[in-house]
Amino acid sequence: MSEPLGAEFFARSVHDVARDLVGCTLLYEGRGGVIVETESYDRSDPACHAFGGRTKRNAPLFGPPGRAYVYLSYGIHSLLNAVAEPDGEAAAVLIRALEPTAGVEEIRARRPGRAEPDLCSGPGKLTEALGVGLEDDRADLARPPFAVLPREGGWRGVEVVTGPRIGISKGIELPWRFCAAGNPHVSRPRPRAGQPGEAPPVPPLTPPPGAGGGAGVAGVGGGADRAGGLSGAGGGGAEGAAGGGPPPSPSSDLLS
């Protein structure tokens, strides 16, 4: 098994980290799978928890990188975020969906009666399936019970498509949602590469430390051609991830 990704992987542009996590494997107590969907948020987002400054609640967002930021959405669902950017910058990646590959029987037992693509196809679904809770806030993602492993095999060349984040009321035009193209485990609505008006895939950026190779990024719905170009750009945020403010009506993809 590969070594878990360390703090150096996460201490970069949150948008680069969000893109590069697609195709990596997330494990919690041995349960987990390949990350197929993420969203990125930084402190310049007006809906970000860190937008108004540091508080006791949002302190984990300010670092160090590579730690978990876990909080309750709608007072019910635990959401898992990976803290990114250098210490003190306040940014995080919401882990939105997984393709289960490890401890699948346990995952099915935690999500009984669900079709395979719906086991972890949403941020609340995957934390329920893995057993992640508020007690995991601030945990080191490179140490048990967590592990985030670099891309392996065919996932090294995964095509990543970008599009607007979902389930939010602010910054909805920003293409800071990153998905494995065509993967059925991505939450709905599922972006697809090659739709009319989309930007074509672009060459990979310099591979991040331990990432196991880069991936092309295609824009969706008028999105940006390269997520890395948005680093520190500001604007937009998400109540459903590292965000704050009054949330919209709960999305069925949180937990259903």
Q: Say what the pLDDT of residue 74 is.
A: 80
Cα 1 from Cα 183, distance rounded (Å): 24
Distance between start and end Cα atoms, the chain: 32
Which residues of the chain carry a pLDDT beneath 50? Answer: 194-208, 211-256
Q: What is the pLDDT of residues 96-110, one digit of tens each?
A: 999 999 999 999 999
- Burial letters 122-137, b for 16+ CB under 10 A, else e: bbbbbbbbbbbeeebb
Spatial separation of the C-alpha atoms in residues 237 and 176, rounded to whole Å: 9
Q: What is the pLDDT of residue 113?
A: 96
Q: Return d(Cα 45, Cα 84) in angstroms, integer.
A: 15
What are the structure tokens assigned to 207, written together?
A: 């591979």
For 8, the 3-state DSSP assignment is helix
Q: Is 243 helix (H, G, I), strand (E, B) or coil?
A: strand
Helix (H, G, I), strand (E, B) or coil at 16: helix
CA atoms of 205 and 211, how far apart (whole Å): 12
pLDDT at 210: 52
pLDDT at 106: 98
The H or E element containing residue 162 is: strand 160-163
Q: What is the pLDDT of residue 236?
A: 31
Phi first, then psi: give them for residue 78, nearest 5 degrees. Answer: -75, 135
pLDDT for the residue 209: 52
**Cis? peptide before 204, omega within 30° of 0:** no
**Residue 219 CB contacts under 8 Å (≥ 6 apart), including other chains:** 161, 162, 163, 175, 198, 199, 225
Using CA atoms, how far residue 93 sits from 15, 68, 114, in Å, is 8, 10, 26
DSSP classification of residue 75 = T
Asked if residue 26 lies in contact with residue 95, where contact means CB atoms within 8 angstroms, the answer is: yes
